[in-house]
A = this chain, B = another copy of it.
Amino acid sequence: MSPIPGLADVGLLGGGVIGGGWAARFLLNGVDVTLYDPDPEAPRKVGEVIANARRAYASLTMAPLPAEGSLRFVATPEEAVVGVDFVQESAPERLDLKQSILMRASAAADPSVVFGSSTSGLLPTQIQTGMHHPERLVVGHPFNPVYLLPLVEICGGEATSEAAKTRAAEVYTAIGMRPLVLGKEIDGFVADRLLEALWREALWLVNDGVATTEQIDDAIRFGAGLRWSFMGTFLVYRIAGGEAGMRHFMAQFGPALQWPWTKLMDVPELTEDLLDRLVAQSDDQAAGQSIRELEALRDDCLVAVMQGLRTVGYGAGEVLADYERALFDRAPAPVAVGDLTQPFKVHEIRIPTDWVDYNGHTNDSRYAQLSGDAADAFLRYIGVDADYLRGGHSYYTVESHISYLAQSHAGDVVYVTSQVLSHDAKRLHLFNRMHRSDDNTLIATGEHMYLHVDTNEGRTVPAPQYMIDRIAVIADGQAALARPPQAGRFVGAPR
């Protein structure tokens, strides 16, 4: 059974950098992939992209990814599409080649199966010409690396049905992407026209000796590029316009469009001299790093940026959070905690990027936070939820003791277990163990005393009986557990 309803198998036509990226994204989402590429090197190249993707997904999310799909290479376009639920074409950017492959594949596929084309510039009306059931062809234009970047532009041709666009958007969303459905068919669609405009100007700056490739890249990544990772150019300018609004901004900066920044209007000739300079400057910039090293650096940065934005719940961070919720929804129900005699796993997180100091270690106070968050989860389990708090009762922390045993770093997955050391109607004495998830190393322990309080009157009162009973079930189950060596320690106690 597929983890994504109606998406068990896909057929891929083409296995270059883009086709390999699609293969990786589908496989890591539990979808089986059948891939056609005439290049005998395709299995190696696709394998390298999948290896990169596996590495990135290992740190991208803690949500439960399904079991990886299976990958099969076939010798013809027809074999790639028989019996599949969706087809994605990523052949080289030559119209005749795409038309020929799609004609053959569409004759073999079930008529209801939707085809996406990865073309970055060819029009869907041209691409669908000659297809069997051309109404099911949409452009689904992704961005490199396909397994990480959320954007996919969906664009239909004259013959394309609305149903095909809807189906393609469903498929892409299910594998964690963010479809942008365009209303008009246009050369270069939207994103590549914007990229191309910027790149053309960048080539002029190199051509005219104004800046090197590295300086141009720095001018992007230390400035506007940081903003563009979560807000596009229009929203950024709206903010720049301030309270006076967008019309005021246009009045102020619109005239600059007519200023003598004239090289925008022309295309630099790609002379041998310009190419030599581009290549030499690019080599300097790479400073000996291989493409594999640069790919890993790029993916690490993308993961870090998307995880950072997830803490804000905005842009690509919102896409990631939605994707993770869907993964949780599709995950099998957690096995009921059978063994109540053991410390109770209450909390698991990935160390966030803002928990570490500049040398990468988790700051010591964050272990107090981690243990406190775990205790909050324990309290929710016994009934201290938002409604209960609104009702004017809570548990307040009286004292805490943290023992630091090993280091952790941003990106580490850690889990926390709770053990009830003692309790009565008013008191709850918890002992938490913090572990790295990869090897179960105990990195810290937290011991906390809580008092049940009436928050309006600010005094200690007994907890309700049902809550005491829930604590008792856990405490009784754990009664045979040894007292942890860190429990009852005072700071400086002999070991």
**Bound: A304/B191 CA distance, A:** 24
Known contacts A62-B363, A222-B315, A316-B222; A422 and B492 CB within 8 A of each other: yes
A269 CB to nearest chain B CB (Å) = 10
- Main secondary structure, interface of A, reads helix
Q: Answer yes or no: A63 CB below 8 A from chain B CBs.
A: yes
Is B246 a contact partner of A282 (Cβ separation < 8 A)?
Answer: yes
Chain B residues near A491 (CB-CB < 8 A): 399-401, 429, 447-449, 487-488
**Bound: A258/B266 CA distance, A:** 10
- Interface 0/1 of A159-185, CB less than 8 Å to B: 000000000000000000010101110
Is A305 a contact partner of B222 (Cβ separation < 8 A)?
Answer: no
Is B265 a contact partner of A250 (Cβ separation < 8 A)?
Answer: no
Name the residue of chain B whose CB is nearest to the CB of A297. B314
A452 CB to nearest chain B CB (Å) = 15
Chain B residues near A213 (CB-CB < 8 A): 232, 234-235
Is A197 a contact partner of B197 (Cβ separation < 8 A)?
Answer: yes
Is A316 a contact partner of B245 (Cβ separation < 8 A)?
Answer: no
Q: Answer yes or no: A335 CB below 8 A from chain B CBs.
A: no
Q: Answer yes or no: A121 CB below 8 A from chain B CBs.
A: yes
- Interface 0/1 of A402-435, CB less than 8 Å to B: 1110000011000000000110000001000000
Chain B residues near A372 (CB-CB < 8 A): 363-365
Is A215 a contact partner of B190 (Cβ separation < 8 A)?
Answer: yes
Known contacts A267-B258, A311-B411, A399-B402; A198 and B187 CB within 8 A of each other: no
Is A400 a contact partner of B364 (Cβ separation < 8 A)?
Answer: yes
Is A247 a contact partner of B264 (Cβ separation < 8 A)?
Answer: no
- Interface 0/1 of A204-225, CB less than 8 Å to B: 0100111101111111111111
Name the residue of chain B whose CB is nearest to the CB of A144. B240
**Bound: A382/B246 CA distance, A:** 54
**Interface size for chain A: under 10, 10 to 19, 20 to 34, or 35 or more residues?**
35 or more
Q: Answer yes or no: A336 CB below 8 A from chain B CBs.
A: no
Q: Answer yes or no: A357 CB below 8 A from chain B CBs.
A: yes
Residue pairs across A and B with Cβ atoms less than 8 A apart, 27 shown, are: A17-B240, A62-B357, A149-B222, A151-B222, A151-B223, A183-B211, A197-B198, A199-B233, A213-B232, A213-B234, A221-B230, A224-B228, A226-B229, A226-B305, A234-B282, A238-B291, A265-B266, A297-B314, A301-B315, A304-B308, A305-B305, A328-B358, A359-B455, A365-B373, A368-B400, A401-B491, A488-B492
Give residues 255-314 of A contacting B (CB, 8 Å): 256-261, 263-267, 270, 275, 278-279, 281-283, 285-286, 291, 294-295, 297-298, 300-312, 314
Of B239, B311, B488, which is within 8 A of A353 by CB? B311
Known contacts A209-B184, A222-B180, A369-B365; A285 and B217 CB within 8 A of each other: no
Closest 8 CB pairs between A and B? A217-B232, A308-B308, A225-B228, A151-B223, A368-B368, A304-B308, A229-B229, A365-B369
Chain B residues near A370 (CB-CB < 8 A): 365
Name the residue of chain B whose CB is nearest to the CB of A375. B364
Name the residue of chain B whose CB is nearest to the CB of A225. B228
Known contacts A230-B221, A364-B397; A256 and B121 CB within 8 A of each other: yes
Name the residue of chain B whose CB is nearest to the CB of A204. B193
Q: Answer yes or no: A470 CB below 8 A from chain B CBs.
A: no
Is B354 a contact partner of A294 (Cβ separation < 8 A)?
Answer: no
Q: Answer yes or no: A479 CB below 8 A from chain B CBs.
A: no
Of B224, B245, B403, B449, which is within 8 A of A399 by CB? B403
Of the listed stretches A66-74, A319-327, A460-468, chain B binds: A319-327
Is A202 a contact partner of B194 (Cβ separation < 8 A)?
Answer: yes
Is B233 a contact partner of A229 (Cβ separation < 8 A)?
Answer: no
**Bound: A453/B422 CA distance, A:** 36
Of B275, B301, B400, which is within 8 A of A401 by CB? B400
**Bound: A311/B306 CA distance, A:** 13
